[in-house]
Amino acid sequence: MARSTAQRVAAALRDRIEGGDLPPGTQLSEEALGRELGVSRNTLREAFRLLVHEGLVVHLLNRGVFVRVLEPADVTDIYRVRAALETAGVRAAATAPAPLRDAVTAAVEEAEQAAGADDWQRVGTADLRFHRALAALAGSARIDAAMERLMAELRLAFHEMPSPRHFHEPFVGRNRALAGLLAKGEHARAEAELTAYLDDARRLILDTMREEER
């Protein structure tokens, strides 16, 4: 089914949020974005409504539309859903088509190259791609769509971290180790590692958010 113009605009803005170009708290200007994207205000407002429904932006009365700032409860819920979707992918890895398995390795390599170039925002983007690829091993279009939304929300959480390198660097090696377990067919160990990995990442983000609140 062909996407409407508003859906395409929403997808473009979602990509910018996921890519880190629109950090939490950013006001989305109808005038500037309409001019940049070549769309009407009505189309842009419909795109905003789609993103509000996805939890990526909020509309504040008499103030405008802003990229959402996450609360600790949001992070907890995101990681709860991620664990369900990504472990479903890991459990299906043995029978997943080769291109889906290759996408996992490619995301690991991209993160390692970005880390070598000291480009930690790109490392974060590659990390999101890695986790999308893990869930995609399940071969479910619905899981893929859910992960697309979750990964954009997760980028909002990444912005809570004062040092992108401090946050992402330990997980570059853990991504490689997890991909290695899958490549060797050690799926039970991979699932256990993924569960511990997601728990560690969630705690790190929550600890940082609570520290900032204090």
pLDDT tens for each residue of 51-105: 998 889 999 988 999 999 899 999 999 999 999 999 999 999 999 999 999 999 9
In a 13 Å sphere around the CA of 10, the CA atoms on its Cβ side amount to 22
Widest distance between CA atoms in the chain: 56
pTM: 0.82
Supply the pLDDT for residue 32. Answer: 92
Instruction: Indicate the class that CATH gives domain 5-67.
Output: mainly alpha
Secondary element (H or E) of residue 3: none
Q: Closest Cα to residue 130, out of 112, 149, 142, 156?
A: 112
- Please tell me which residue, 182 or 121, carries the higher pLDDT value: 182
Nearest one of 213, 214, 211, 204 to 76, comparing CA atoms: 204
Higher-pLDDT residue of 148, 192: 192
Domain boundaries, the chain: 5-67, 72-213
pLDDT confidence of residue 160 = 75
Please tell me the CATH superfamily of domain 72-213, with its number.
GntR ligand-binding domain-like (1.20.120.530)
- What digits encode the pLDDT tens for the residues 84-94? 999 999 999 99
Residue percentage of the chain with pLDDT more than 70: 98
Mean of pLDDT over the chain? 91
